[in-house]
């Protein structure tokens, strides 16, 4: 991915250790190739972050070891996820009981519950436009107070995790002052 694409789909999940090897074989040999055949899907890359993370939920913070899988798809537009081909291949199939999708916060934007409905193409476009505008207030409108923002770079081996809306605002504000 040489230049910053106009539209990204980021899928992040944890997988039960008992099925992890089988899930990885399926993802690499079946799921990812099927996704890349869908109209409007340009490319995709898989990553795994391992190690200890800090996670906050319901006001409680704890450290734990995790393996977190992330796939980043470059799309022609948000409409790519609405095609018949994409909808047919989407999902975890036999692995569903063993996979937990991870979200950067439990809500994406005011009044938009992505945990139950998933992001719409219109929402993906709004989030993408907010980040492209580099307007921190506009970007922050998509974050919940108890959000976790996962950054690809940072001091931790798996990148940087920023917890809470105020902390995310501070990091994005510093990046914008540096001319990100």
pLDDT at 118 over 60: no
Among the ranges given (20-29, 54-63, 64-73, 80-89), the one the predictor scored with the smallest mean pLDDT: 54-63
DSSP state of 130: H
The domain segmentation of the chain, as residue ranges, is 7-177
Per the CB < 8 A criterion, the answer to whether 139 and 114 are in contact is no
Q: Which pLDDT score, from 0 to 100, does residue 31 have?
A: 94
pLDDT band of 120, cuts 50, 70, 90:
low
Closest of 50, 146, 164 to residue 107, by C-alpha: 146
Task: Kindly report the number of other CB atoms within 10 A of residue 28's CB atom.
Answer: 11
pLDDT tens by residue, 127-172: 888 888 889 999 998 888 877 787 766 666 666 788 889 999 998 8
Residue 87 pLDDT > 70, yes or no?
yes
Q: What are phi and psi of 158, to 5 degrees?
A: -95, 15
Question: 171 is written with which tokens?
Answer: 């990091």
pLDDT in tens, 32-71: 999 999 999 999 989 888 877 776 666 777 777 888 888 8
pTM beyond cutoff 0.85: no
pLDDT value of position 34: 95
pLDDT at residue 12 tops 80: yes
By three-state DSSP, how is residue 121 classified?
A: helix
**What is the rounded distance in angstroms from the CA atom of residue 38 to the CA atom of residue 80?**
8
pLDDT reported for residue 28: 92
């Amino acid at each position: 991915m040489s230049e910053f694409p106009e539209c990204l789909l980021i899928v992040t999940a944890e997988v039960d250790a008992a099925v992890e090897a089988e899930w990885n074989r399926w993802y690499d040999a079946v799921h990812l190739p099927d996704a890349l055949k869908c109209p409007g899907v340009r490319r995709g890359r898989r990553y795994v972050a391992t190690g200890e993370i800090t996670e906050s939920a319901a006001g409680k913070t704890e450290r734990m070891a995790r393996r977190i899988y992330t796939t980043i798809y470059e799309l022609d537009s948000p409409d790519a996820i609405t095609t018949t081909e994409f909808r047919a291949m989407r999902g975890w199939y036999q692995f569903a009981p063993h996979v937990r999708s991870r979200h950067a916060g439990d809500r994406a934007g005011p009044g938009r519950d992505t945990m139950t409905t998933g992001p719409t193409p219109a929402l993906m476009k709004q989030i993408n436009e907010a980040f492209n505008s580099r307007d921190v207030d506009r970007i922050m409108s998509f974050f919940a107070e108890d959000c976790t923002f996962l950054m690809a770079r940072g001091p931790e081996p798996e990148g940087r995790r920023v917890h809470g809306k105020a902390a995310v605002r501070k990091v994005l504000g510093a990046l914008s002052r540096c001319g990100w």
